[in-house]
């Protein structure tokens, strides 16, 4: 990437060859759609091209690459939330609620994706299912404080990467 940032055009071909499969797999795993994954990975390499001058060669490339990919995925989720229109005339409101629930589930899955399985379990159990931290600590063989810290750190990571379209999933009652 440092070579490409310095003007070596052939270095981009090398980057693309090395990382195209990983980028596609990253998006496919998170979207479940071949078409979306292909669109997103192409957009990722376009962003890499556009951001080549902002790249710091003193830092490792792969974490930067996947950070750009993660932000692209969040942007895609935000666009999907903003563009979702539901005509009310002639619609069954129960089906609208089910559709909204499925979209919320997809957004929640994407929010939780960067967390470890343990962090996901603690957050879902405590925040969504109402499990007590003492129950979770006993089940995990950890102290209550350790489980609380795990939940707190996971929430901080989610809040750091969330967008306005998914805020209500993290803080359902902002007031």
| Whole-model pTM over 0.75 | no
The CATH architecture that domain 92-170 belongs to is Orthogonal Bundle (1.10)
CA distance 92 to 54: 49
Q: Of 69, 84, 83, 82, which Cα lies nearest the Cα of 161? A: 69
Question: Which residues of the chain does CATH 1.10.1740.10 include?
Answer: 2-81
What is the pLDDT, as a whole number, of residue 141? 83
Domain boundaries for CATH 1.10.10.10 within the chain: 92-170
pLDDT digits (tens, 9 = 90+) for 44-95: 989 988 888 887 888 888 888 889 999 898 888 888 776 655 555 555 555 5
% of the chain residues with pLDDT over 90? 11
CATH number of the 2-81 domain: 1.10.1740.10
């Amino acid at each position: 990437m440092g070579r490409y940032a310095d003007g070596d055009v052939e270095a981009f071909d090398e980057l693309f060859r090395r990382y195209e499969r990983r980028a596609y797999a990253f998006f496919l795993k998170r979207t479940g759609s071949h078409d979306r994954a292909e669109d997103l990975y192409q957009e990722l390499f376009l962003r890499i091209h556009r951001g080549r001058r902002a790249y710091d060669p003193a830092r490792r490339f792969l974490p930067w690459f996947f950070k750009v990919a993660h932000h692209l995925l969040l942007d895609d989720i935000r666009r999907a939330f903003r563009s979702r229109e539901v005509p009310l005339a002639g619609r069954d409101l129960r089906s609208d609620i089910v559709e909204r629930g499925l979209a919320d589930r997809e957004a929640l899955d994407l929010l939780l994706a960067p967390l470890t399985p343990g962090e996901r379990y603690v957050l879902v159990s405590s925040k969504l299912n109402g499990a007590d931290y003492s129950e979770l600590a006993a089940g995990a063989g950890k102290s209550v404080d350790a489980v609380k810290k795990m939940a707190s750190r996971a929430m901080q990571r989610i809040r750091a990467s969330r967008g306005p379209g998914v805020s209500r999933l993290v803080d359902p009652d902002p007031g």
